[in-house]
Amino acid sequence: MSTQSSSDAGGFSIGDLIRRPETGSLIGFIVVYVFFASLGGAVFMGAPGWSSWLNIAAEVGIIALPVGLLMISGEFDLSVGSIIPASSMTAAILSGHYELPALVGIIGGLSVGLFVGFINGLIVTRTTIPSLIATIGSMFAVMGLTLGLAVLIKGSTSVSYVPDPVTKGLLGTFINGMFNVSIFWWIGFVAVYYFLVHVAPIGNWVFAMGGDRESARNAGIPTDKLTIGLFMASGFGAAFVGIAQVMTYQAAQVAGGQSFIFNSIMCVVIGGVLLTGGAGSIIGIVLGTMTFAVVNQGIFFAALDPNIGSIIIGALLLTAVLSNDTFRALAMNYATKKK
Amino acid sequence: MSANTPVIELRNVDKSFGPIDVLHEISLKVRAGEVLCLLGDNGAGKSTLIKTLAGVHAPTRGEILVDGKPTTFDGPRDAQDRGIATVHQFGGTYPLMSIGRNFFLGMEPTKGFGPFKVFDRKKANQIAVEEVQKMGITRITDGDRLVGGLSGGERQSLAIARAVYFGARVLILDEPTAALGVKQAAHVLRIVNEAKKRGLAVIFITHQVMHAMTVGDHFAVLIRGAIAADFRKGEKTREEITDLMAGGETMADLEASIEGYMETHEGHPPKVATAD
């Protein structure tokens, strides 16, 4: 069956396509991929190219998903940048320094993320402090605590930990020496978030909260609980990446992770999430993450000056926001024609 | 419950925020199939009254009776569960969500079971479109359309249809026509009539006397937090109502004084309008 006949069957129309929030990001991804594929050549289009950008995409992507959800609900989370080292440090200290089982370290690290997320949510819902400020505050607090405690316990800013083969295999190995297992975890996270946001009713609540928090509360949606839950999800995502990093690199550093703050927000915005909340999609966030990763890694394959890469990412961000606005306006005014 | 028992009634309700008294001794009642128009200028205490009716604020003194029984609301959700629905000026709708999703927000229809409950988009869209059409908005045929593309009147209608569908018995409409054009306002008024025909008790808050007179059975004028006048349809003329809302100062006097000023000032209107 050709695509033409299936479109006649009524399952597909230009209107449906325009109305989908991820159309803009899909076009963006294709353009960027073709651009770097033409420069990077066979190597970039082969396994080495795919693995290098997918590895980047998976790491950022696991954080970008909940950060994007938070943005849809109208909040920011900048604390992810310091949750990553905090959780990897916790896991390394528990399992490496105190030689507890790997599972204890993993649970400990994830708990750090959930806890910081819970505090963020509490601050945002109980006070009038905007989430941008609240999470900058918690970011610095967590950063300081991580450094202080690491020096206090270990006397150093880096802790090494050699995980057992099973843990390493599950969280920090490279398949074929190229593809990080994080890619599969990322796919798993995408599936779970896709279900929650677009299939289960709770997704509706998140969008409504970003659209108009007051009315959403009046409609009986537990906005405070949901906000706290979303912050905990983003803390969890960041902590997960932190743990995956320990397992991969067999060491935890107190610094690092800051790049994830802007990168995750960039992926989300390129993916078509409205900065002020109320609109976006999981597929869009995934496409945004892939676009970001392709540019990030494509630069090396295309043998371009890395500075040009930054320029491209900056331009991409602006173009993405502009085109997403256009698509949103189109979607708003689009109505199916009377049959 | 006899047909004559008001669905909702306020008896001598006062509301103060700390030292500031906002509502004084408000008493009003609405029966099923009746439209009560609450008229009042800005700052007359209309929004506080609505919030008290909707369970957002608890009255400082006095009581609220639902079906003749004294009731206290534990919050807006509780009031909603008792069938009191509030539709705000902009309809409380979400522009970037589809009609079906807006309609069922917070009460999503699901299929499947356990943790795998799935939002039933088809059913949601179908019911939403049907209900809105029943209210007379035949232009809406596609439940996937985003609400942001609807006109203000259509959004109001969607919100009212939603309230009716979810079993509202008292419909509180907060300035539903304020931001609308003439045609759109007429649309909303038609829907108010439709809701009334279905036996809902409607509380219609407005400062547009014309709109109130089109649909109202019963009128209450609110001035500085107190009910200044309470009358039934046909008992007062439009001019009298307008004058009441303006706080006793008659419009005719006001117009005369402005005209007088303009005559003595080469046709310029007064620079600053002062009270008294």
pLDDT tens across A42-65, in order?
888 888 889 999 999 999 999 999
Q: What are the structure tokens assigned to B185, written together?
A: 């306002």
| pTM confidence score | 0.81
Interchain CB distance below 8 Å, A219 and B105: yes
Average pLDDT rounded to a whole number, residues B147-151 = 81
pLDDT higher than 50, residue A91: yes
What is the band of B15 on the pLDDT scale with cuts at 50, 70, 90? Answer: confident
| Residue-level pLDDT at B184 | 80
pLDDT, tens only, A302-313: 888 878 878 888
pLDDT, tens only, B225-242: 888 778 887 777 777 777
Least confident of A6-15, A117-126, A269-278, B79-88: A6-15
What is the band of A9 on the pLDDT scale with cuts at 50, 70, 90? Answer: very low
pLDDT higher than 70, residue B129: yes
Interchain CB distance below 8 Å, A332 and B101: no
Q: What are the structure tokens assigned to A186, written together?
A: 């990322």
pLDDT, tens only, A205-250: 999 898 888 888 877 788 999 999 999 999 999 999 999 999 998 8
Interchain CB distance below 8 Å, B94 and A219: no
Report the candidate in A80, A64, A66 with the shortest Cα–Cα distance to residue A264: A64
pLDDT higher than 60, residue A7: no
Where exactly are the structural domains of chain A? 23-327
What is the band of A119 on the pLDDT scale with cuts at 50, 70, 90? Answer: very high
What is the band of B3 on the pLDDT scale with cuts at 50, 70, 90? Answer: low
| Residue-level pLDDT at A338 | 38
Interchain CB distance below 8 Å, A335 and B88: no
What is the band of B80 on the pLDDT scale with cuts at 50, 70, 90? Answer: confident
Helix A102-126 vs helix A223-249: angle between axes, to the nearest 10 degrees?
150
Report the candidate in A180, A193, A185, A183 with the shortest Cα–Cα distance to residue A283: A193
pLDDT higher than 70, residue B274: no
pLDDT higher than 70, residue B179: yes
Q: Which residue does chain A place closest to B110, by CA atoms? A: A201
CB neighbour list of residue A71: distance below 8 Å, 6 or more residues apart: A210, A265, A268, A269, A273, A274, A275, A277, A280
Q: Count how many Cα atoms sit within 13 Å of the Cα of residue A290 in the half-sphere of its side chain.
A: 24
pLDDT higher than 80, residue A277: yes
What residues of chain B lie within 8 A of the CB of A215, using their CB? 88, 92-94
| Residue-level pLDDT at A3 | 33
Q: Which domains does chain B have, with CATH numbers?
A: 8-245 (3.40.50.300), 246-276 (no CATH)
Least confident of A134-148, A263-277, B203-217: B203-217
Interchain CB distance below 8 Å, A278 and B88: no
Residues in A whose CB is inside 8 Å of some CB of B read 19, 199-201, 203-205, 207-208, 211-212, 215-221, 274, 278-279, 328, 331-336, 338
Q: Count how many Cα atoms sit within 13 Å of the Cα of residue B237 in the half-sphere of its side chain.
A: 3
| Residue-level pLDDT at A17 | 65
pLDDT, tens only, A150-208: 999 988 888 888 888 888 888 888 888 889 999 999 999 999 999 999 888 888 899 98
Average pLDDT rounded to a whole number, residues B197-215 = 86
Burial of A321 (0-12, 13-18, 19+ CB in 10 A): middle
> Between A67 and A316, whose confidence is greater?
A67
pLDDT higher than 70, residue A337: no
Number of H helices, E strands in chain A: 15, 4
pLDDT higher than 70, residue B250: no
> Between A293 and B267, whose confidence is greater?
A293
Average pLDDT rounded to a whole number, residues A102-111 = 94
In angstroms and rounded to an integer, the radius of gyration of the C-alpha atoms of chain A is 21
pLDDT higher than 60, residue B273: no
Q: In sequence order, what DSSP letters do the residues of B178-231 get, joined into one string?
A: TT--HHHHHHHHHHHHHHHHTT-EEEEEES-HHHHHHH-SEEEEEETTEEEEEE
- Winning range, highest mean pLDDT, from A38-52, A128-142, B16-30, B209-223: A128-142
Interchain CB distance below 8 Å, B149 and A334: yes
| Residue-level pLDDT at A74 | 92
| Residue-level pLDDT at A220 | 76
According to DSSP H, which parts of A130-180 are helical? 131-154, 165-171
Average pLDDT rounded to a whole number, residues B117-140 = 84
| Residue-level pLDDT at A327 | 76
Interchain CB distance below 8 Å, A204 and B104: yes
> Between A335 and B184, whose confidence is greater?
B184
DSSP, res B45: S
* Residues A134, A38: Cα–Cα separation, whole Å: 44
CB neighbour list of residue B39: distance below 8 Å, 6 or more residues apart: B206, B207, B209, B212, B219, B220, B221, B222, B241, B244, B245
Express as a percent the part of chain B with pLDDT over 90: 2
Q: Do residues A92 and A105 make contact, with C-beta atoms less than 8 angstroms apart?
A: yes
**Architecture in CATH for domain A23-327:** Orthogonal Bundle (1.10)
pLDDT, tens only, A291-330: 999 988 888 888 888 788 788 888 888 888 888 778 777 7
Interchain CB distance below 8 Å, A220 and B77: yes
* Residues A193, A39: Cα–Cα separation, whole Å: 34
| Residue-level pLDDT at A54 | 94
Burial of A118 (0-12, 13-18, 19+ CB in 10 A): middle
Residues in B whose CB is inside 8 Å of some CB of A read 76-77, 80, 86, 88, 92-97, 101, 104-108, 110, 117-119, 141-142, 144-146, 148-149
Closest chain A C-alpha to B146 CA, distance in angstroms: 6
